[in-house]
Structures are given as structure tokens and as C-alpha cells.
């Protein structure tokens, strides 16, 4: 398919303008793009500018945190996100500015691979029958964290309670992580959870310092629904979305987590596959460094 418009394609630019390197790079890259595409929107990642005009790609300039925030915002647009890394790790942003320029023809001709990513959605109520007071999509994870004064909390965990009508299991600890496959390499990994390939239709539930030897990270289908009920909370027990959004919890609060109905479309860099990225940036399966015999 070729574009039948005046320009090769229509793009949205979203940039983290709190990063001086991004601002500087866009001074020259913006006119470069304008010669090759129609820029239908040009937004700061921290501004709530409208994204109403049709587009063929969304170019996002920043670090992984920028990608997370933009992903929650654009998932309903069904437009592929092209992450250009200006952060430290850049695990979610597979392109450099030089990559993007070199592959522009492939991008404009739709020859670059597009991956479908599972996002999760959290809905929180004061009780099981109450109206939701908080709802958010997450690209990485939804985390229940004990918070100050850092005593252990008690949670009831139920999987598909409405489908099976079975009671849940109760555990104590510092909280719990429910992560998407994309988020499996974030907090979930640090807490001892498994790495899940990003195209797998799944979620993972990983306890945070559970006060038991028997609660191990559990991989679920993306068709499953996770329900958490807070049985004992601290003064600042909180739900955190992607490490960016948060809302307080209290005893009796109910958190329902499920895969979001729509998938996030992410443009992949064909020069850097997922497992190569995992090895290069997170040193997956690398041998330990050994000292010399001298």
C-alpha cells in the first residue's frame, strides 16, 4: 500500500521537552521530517494537546518513562508508536535518531514490522459493589505497595472470581505486582518474576516480599481477570500505575485488573530484535565477568 496524499505519510511528533537533548535534536530533525511527511500534531509529552487528526505513525522522542506515558494515551488511536531513545536504558524505544533517518523509506512504505503489545487496565472501588473511583491503563504494571509506615499488609487474591465463583487466597507482604509481558522486565523482574516475551498474550502476578515460602510468581492468560481485596492497609498503601500514576487504598478497597481490550501497536527495529536488546541492554544470559589468573 502506498500513501495517496501530498506527503509520503502523516505523522504525530510527541517529545519530552524536559530533556535538553530532545529539544536540540528536534531543531534539525523537525524540518527534516517536514520535507518528507505531513506533521499533523507536534506535542510536548507533558501537555494534553489534542490528537484528533488521522496519522500513520506517532514518533515519540524520550526515554522509557516517556514511552510509558505516551502508550497509555495513544493505545485507543490504533496508530503505531515509533520510540526514539533519548533516555538511559531505552528498552522501550528501539530506534536512535540515526536509525529513524536510515529507515525512513521503510517506515513510510510500511515495511517495518509492527508488534502488538498487551496492556493491562486497573479499576479500583472502595468496595466490591461501589462505583469505580480510579481507572487507568498500564503498559508495564499495576503495583499495590504497602507504603508508610511500612508494616506488612494483607491482601486477598482472586483469579476469575466471577467466572468460577471460588474464594481467593490471602497473603501478607509488602504488596503485589501485576505486569504485562512488556512490564515483565521492569519491577516484576527485580522482584523475582519471569521474563515473558512481549508478544505473548499473558499477565504475571508477582508478590513483593510475601510472608510465605509458597507464593511464587504466576503467569496467567490475558483472558484472565485478577481481583485484589485489601484486608489490612497502612496509612499510605497505594496503587501505582507504570511508576507514574498513583491513588491511595484503604481496607476494603477492591482492585480489578485485566488485559485492556485494545493492543498497543509498536514499531520494531529490524536491526535489533527483542532478545538481542535484552542481552545488550540488560545483560540477559551473559556470563559473569571473571578475573584474570594473574
The set of catalytic residues is 64
**Beta-bridge mates of residue 206:** 177
Gap between the terminal Cα atoms of the chain: 62
Contacts with 75 (C-beta within 8 Å, 6 or more apart), sequence order: 119, 137, 260, 262, 263, 264
**C-alpha closest to that of 144 among 208, 85, 98, 193:** 208
Whole-number Å distance between alpha carbons of 143 and 87:
23
Whole-number Å distance between alpha carbons of 69 and 73:
7
Specify whether the CB–CB gap between 84 and 100 falls below 8 A.
Answer: yes
Residue 285 three-state SS = coil
Residue 69 three-state SS = helix
Dihedral of the alpha carbons of 62, 267, 277, 244, in degrees to the nearest 10: 40
Whole-number Å distance between alpha carbons of 17 and 244:
17
Amino acid at each position: 500500500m502506498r500513501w495517496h496524499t501530498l506527503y509520503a505519510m502523516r505523522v504525530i511528533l510527541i517529545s519530552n521537552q524536559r530533556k535538553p537533548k530532545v529539544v536540540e535534536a528536534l531543531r534539525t530533525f523537525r524540518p527534516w521530517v517536514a520535507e518528507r511527511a505531513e506533521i499533523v500534531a507536534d506535542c510536548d509529552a507533558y501537555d494534553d494537546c489534542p490528537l484528533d487528526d488521522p496519522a500513520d505513525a506517532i514518533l515519540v522522542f524520550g526515554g522509557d518513562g516517556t514511552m510509558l506515558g505516551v502508550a497509555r494515551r495513544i493505545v485507543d488511536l490504533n496508530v503505531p508508536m515509533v520510540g526514539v531513545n533519548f533516555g538511559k536504558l531505552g528498552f522501550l524505544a528501539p530506534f536512535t535518531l540515526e536509525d529513524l533517518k536510515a529507515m525512513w523509506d521503510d517506515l513510510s512504505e510500511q515495511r517495518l514490522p509492527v508488534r502488538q503489545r498487551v496492556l493491562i487496565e486497573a479499576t479500583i472501588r472502595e468496595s466490591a459493589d461501589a462505583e469505580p473511583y480510579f481507572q487507568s491503563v498500564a503498559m508495564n504494571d499495576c503495583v499495590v505497595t504497602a507504603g508508610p509506615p511500612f508494616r506488612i499488609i494483607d491482601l486477598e487474591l482472586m483469579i476469575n472470581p466471577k467466572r468460577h465463583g471460588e474464594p481467593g487466597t490471602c497473603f501478607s507482604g509488602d504488596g503485589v505486582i501485576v505486569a504485562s509481558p512488556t512490564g515483565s522486565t521492569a519491577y516484576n523482574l527485580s522482584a523475582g518474576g519471569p521474563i515473558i516475551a512481549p508478544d505473548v498474550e499473558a499477565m504475571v502476578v508477582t508478590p513483593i516480599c510475601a510472608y510465605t515460602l509458597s507464593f511464587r510468581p504466576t503467569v496467567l492468560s490475558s483472558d484472565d481477570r485478577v481481583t485484589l481485596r485489601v484486608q489490612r492497609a497502612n496509612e499510605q498503601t497505594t496503587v501505582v500505575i507504570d511508576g507514574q500514576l498513583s491513588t491511595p487504598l484503604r481496607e476494603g478497597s477492591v482492585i480489578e485488573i485485566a488485559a485492556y481490550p485494545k493492543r498497543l501497536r509498536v514499531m520494531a527495529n529490524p536491526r535489533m530484535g527483542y532478545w538481542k536488546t535484552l542481552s545488550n541492554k540488560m545483560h540477559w544470559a551473559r556470563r559473569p565477568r571473571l578475573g584474570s589468573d594473574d
